[in-house]
Amino acid sequence: MTTEHRPHGNGPSPNTETGPRPIRSYVIRSGRLTSSQRKAIDNYWQDYVIEYQTSPLALNALFHNKADTVLEIGFGMGDSLLEMAINTPSVNFLGVEVHKPGIGKLLHGIAEAGLDNLKVINHDAKEVLLNCFEDESLWKIQIFFPDPWHKKRHNKRRLIQDEFVQLLASKLKVSGELHLATDWEPYAEHMLEKLDTCEMLVNSAGPACYSASGDRPVTRFENRGKKLGHKVRDLRYVKS
């Protein structure tokens, strides 16, 4: 199994002051920052990290051009997202991630490549989607290899659930694309069921069918999964 995220220890537990805590689809790993990652965070955070806010972002003001915006949720170490931004300078990219080592590595790559079309948000993706984007403001949303939560008792922690799919679809422009990928077959089936039942989305490959990966770069997690014999399945949907 390969994942961009890891299980979160912050499950739903009672809180007498604020009510139940939200069910998270990730855990903040305690991995150490390398010296390069720490240096990149110190030097480039102010240039490339967008601070979370509870009101919609002015996307045209974040970048030097007024191009369409692609949002990637859970970019891991950021290699494939960096490659996309380098290869597609006419498109703006925003990556959402909670893990500092991955953010540090990506910031280093952004600065090294001198990119002005890629920025980062370090916050919970559900809250970012809910609060930081107007409806029908994103050209594409991509989620590659989210944690499949393969144990049945943990399935409720999967990121792709009915309510979240509705939220994803609401933020896409008409004709915008939602692209997901996983190497865990039961999660692929779960995703397919949830996405196919969303009235705002049309399966590009046809109902109950998986898609070709298209021009998506291969991620390190994907390579690891393939070495373990896992079949990768892509799901691509268009906002109707």
Residue of 32, 39, 29 whose CA lies nearest to 108: 39
Distance separating alpha carbons of residues 163 and 82, to the nearest angstrom: 29
Distance separating alpha carbons of residues 162 and 92, to the nearest angstrom: 28
- Encoded amino acid at 88, one letter: T
Average pLDDT of 121-130? 97
Q: Is residue 98 part of a domain?
A: yes
Mean pLDDT, all residues of the chain? 87
pLDDT, residue 30, reads 56
pLDDT, residue 49, reads 98
| Residue appearing with tokens 């409720």 | 156
Quick: pLDDT tens for 157-185. 699 999 999 999 999 999 999 999 999 99
Q: Is residue 146 part of a domain?
A: yes
Residue 98 has pLDDT above 50, yes or no: yes
pLDDT, residue 238, reads 98
Q: Is residue 192 part of a domain?
A: yes
Distance separating alpha carbons of residues 231 and 223, to the nearest angstrom: 11
Query: 170 near 240, Cβ under 8 Å?
Result: no
CB atoms within 10 A of CB 4: 25
Residue 124 has pLDDT above 80, yes or no: yes
pTM to 2 decimal places: 0.86
Q: What is the span of the domain harbouring residue 54?
A: 35-239
pLDDT, residue 96, reads 98
Domain count, the chain: 1
Quick: pLDDT tens for 85-94. 999 999 999 9
Query: 52 near 126, Cβ under 8 Å?
Result: no
Q: Is residue 153 part of a domain?
A: yes
- Choosing from 147, 162, 183, 196, which is the catalytic residue? 147
Tokens of residue 122, six digits: 């370090």
Q: Is residue 74 part of a domain?
A: yes
Q: Is residue 86 part of a domain?
A: yes
- Phi first, then psi: give them for residue 164, nearest 5 degrees: -70, -35
Quick: pLDDT tens for 199-235. 999 999 999 999 998 889 988 778 887 888 889 999 9
Task: Specify burial of residue 131 (Cβ count, 10 A radius: 0-12, 13-18, 19+).
Answer: middle
Query: 164 near 126, Cβ under 8 Å?
Result: yes
Residue 153 has pLDDT above 70, yes or no: no
pLDDT, residue 215, reads 81
pLDDT confidence tier of residue 57, bands split at 50, 70 and 90: very high
CATH of residue 203's domain is 3.40.50.150
Query: 72 near 96, Cβ under 8 Å?
Result: yes
Q: Is residue 9 part of a domain?
A: no
Q: Is residue 26 part of a domain?
A: no
Residue 11 has pLDDT above 80, yes or no: no
DSSP summary character for residue 155? G
Sheet strands side by side (includes 138-144) = 118-121, 92-96, 69-73, 138-144, 172-182, 233-239, 201-203
Average pLDDT of 130-159? 85
Report the run of H or E that residue 87 belongs to, with start and end.
Answer: helix 79-87
Active site residue 147: yes
Distance separating alpha carbons of residues 79 and 84, to the nearest angstrom: 9
Distance separating alpha carbons of residues 168 and 52, to the nearest angstrom: 18
